[in-house]
């Protein structure tokens, strides 16, 4: 592991564990470590997807994501968000909700923080599930140079030519699941609709300003990047394109934050199987887990891992599809977080292995995988034709 990339994560982990020990002794230290491991194991697919978006951002917005973004991830999603949910559902103020969380009443107590948060899980699952489901559908309906599960991705890309098919499928799935699984269908429909609207709005604005920024860069002779932004990494990679700056970078930053939030829902709820203490959850899930997820994201971008192992992005998106389904099923039935984590690891592992086998096959055929992607794709197509 590169110390320059993971150094801050190691340092923050030590600080978080020391704070946990001072806060609650050895037991708190152990719980904090378990929560950190839980978040990292559940979020590797998050890091891969984050990296695909981060590659499109200028160095300035990458730094914003890795600094201000980490504060939002730690304090916003892992501490403030659960407090807000409990406060809204139980008609409590933020301070009262925080005091209730610190009391650590048993989860079976209807007045406990954990019980109230679990009661709100169907709405949380509907919002996060719809956001991730839309992300997965838009990706799987897009025609791409490389296909991992070609027997499935090729026909899906063909039917994806139908405009707004992803929206139609997502809304249909939400209506069916809300009417069949939800105890309160109205609340689930509202929450799921908000997740859909959030995805369409943030993603749409990001694409709009990114396109405008790219057009401006071309009009200006390709010099639209911020300082230090013109360096390319691998031929044909995202670095050769105009990076998102200004408004485009801002909306990509918002998109990443909402994406991180959607990924974190299941981990936050799953943490209550370990502890209901908001301080330990913020330390373990937030400081340790979120920092390592961001370090992994930077590692994937800086090392060009997504260009070297082209199927990793595919595995991550199929893992997102599985996670979105699990969240939506969670409207009526809560799926164990271990299953969620194992599915994600399985997709990522299989995609990584497939990428290694692909690279070895191309090497035997004399194709350099570091040449422009269109040339590699052409060589792959020629290889398949010869077979």
Rounded distance between C-alpha atoms, residue 223 and residue 220, angstroms: 6
Residue 35: which of 79, 5, 2 has the closest Cα?
Answer: 79
Rounded distance between C-alpha atoms, residue 225 and residue 99, angstroms: 47
Q: Phi/psi class of residue 334: alpha, beta or left (left: φ > 0; alpha: ψ in -120 to 50)?
A: beta
Tens-place pLDDT, residues 287-344? 888 788 888 888 888 777 777 888 888 888 888 888 888 888 888 887 776 677 678 7
Is residue 172's pLDDT more than 90?
yes
Contact 210, 248 (CB under 8 A): yes
Strand partners, 57: 244
Q: Which residue has the higher pLDDT, 220 or 41?
A: 41
Rounded distance between C-alpha atoms, residue 51 and residue 271, angstroms: 25
Residues sharing a CB contact under 8 Å with residue 220, sequence separation 6 or more, in sequence order: none
Rounded distance between C-alpha atoms, residue 254 and residue 259, angstroms: 8
Strand partners, 244: 57
- Number of residues in the chain: 387
Is residue 114's pLDDT more than 80?
no
Return the pLDDT at 240.
Answer: 45
Contact 133, 314 (CB under 8 A): no
Question: Mean pLDDT in the chain?
Answer: 76
Is residue 356's pLDDT more than 80?
yes
Long-range own/partner contacts, residues 81-88 (CB < 8 A, 24 or more apart): 81/261, 81/268, 82/117, 82/268, 82/278, 82/281, 83/278, 85/117, 85/120, 85/124, 86/113, 86/116, 86/117, 86/120, 88/120
Enter the pTM of the model. 0.72
Tens-place pLDDT, residues 331-340? 888 777 667 7
Residue 174: which of 163, 186, 165 has the closest Cα?
Answer: 186
Sign of CA dihedral 270, 41, 45, 253: positive
Residue 241: which of 251, 255, 250, 229 has the closest Cα?
Answer: 229
Q: What is the torsion angle, in degrees rounded to the nearest 10, for the CA atoms of residue 210, residue 211, residue 217 and residue 220?
A: -140
Rounded distance between C-alpha atoms, residue 1 and residue 21, angstroms: 27
Is residue 175's pLDDT more than 90?
yes
Contact 293, 42 (CB under 8 A): no
Contact 148, 299 (CB under 8 A): no
Q: Which residue has the higher pLDDT, 26 or 3?
A: 26
Q: Is 207 exposed, middle or buried (0-12, 13-18, 19+ CB in 10 A)?
A: middle
Percent of the chain predicted with pLDDT > 90 = 8
């Amino acid at each position: 592991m590169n110390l320059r990339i993971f150094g801050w994560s190691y340092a923050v982990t030590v600080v978080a564990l020391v704070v946990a020990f001072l806060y609650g002794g050895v037991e708190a230290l152990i719980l904090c470590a378990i929560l950190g491991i839980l978040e990292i194991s559940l979020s590797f697919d998050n890091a891969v997807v984050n990296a695909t978006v981060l590659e499109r951002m200028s160095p300035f917005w990458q730094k914003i994501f890795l600094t201000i973004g980490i504060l939002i991830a730690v304090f916003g999603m892992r501490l403030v968000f659960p407090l807000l949910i409990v406060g809204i559902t139980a008609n409590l103020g933020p301070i009262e909700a925080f005091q209730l969380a610190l009391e650590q009443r048993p989860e079976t107590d209807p007045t406990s923080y954990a019980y109230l948060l679990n009661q709100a899980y169907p709405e949380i699952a509907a919002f996060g599930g719809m956001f991730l489901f839309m992300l997965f559908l838009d990706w799987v309906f897009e025609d791409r140079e490389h296909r991992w599960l070609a027997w499935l991705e090729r026909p899906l890309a063909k039917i994806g030519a139908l405009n707004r098919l992803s929206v139609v499928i997502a809304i249909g799935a939400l209506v069916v699941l809300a009417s069949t699984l939800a105890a309160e269908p109205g609340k689930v429909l509202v929450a799921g609709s908000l997740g859909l609207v959030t995805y369409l709005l943030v993603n749409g604005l990001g694409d709009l300003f990114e396109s405008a920024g790219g057009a401006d860069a071309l009009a200006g002779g390709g010099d639209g990047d911020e300082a230090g932004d013109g360096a390319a990494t691998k031929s044909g990679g995202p670095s050769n394109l105009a990076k998102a700056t200004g408004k485009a970078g801002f909306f990509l930053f918002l998109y990443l934050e909402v994406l991180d939030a959607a990924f974190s829902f299941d981990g936050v709820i799953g943490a209550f199987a370990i502890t209901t203490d908001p301080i330990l959850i913020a330390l373990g899930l937030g400081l340790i887990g979120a920092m390592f997820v961001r370090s992994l994201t930077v590692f994937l971008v800086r090392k060009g891992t997504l260009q070297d192992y082209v199927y990793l992005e595919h595995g991550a998106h199929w893992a997102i599809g599985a996670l979105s389904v699990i969240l939506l099923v969670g409207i009526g039935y809560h799926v164990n977080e271990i299953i969620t984590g194992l599915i994600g690891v399985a997709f990522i592992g299989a995609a990584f292995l497939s990428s290694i086998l692909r690279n070895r096959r191309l090497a035997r055929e004399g194709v350099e995988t570091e040449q422009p992607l269109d040339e590699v794709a052409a060589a792959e197509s020629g290889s398949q034709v010869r077979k």
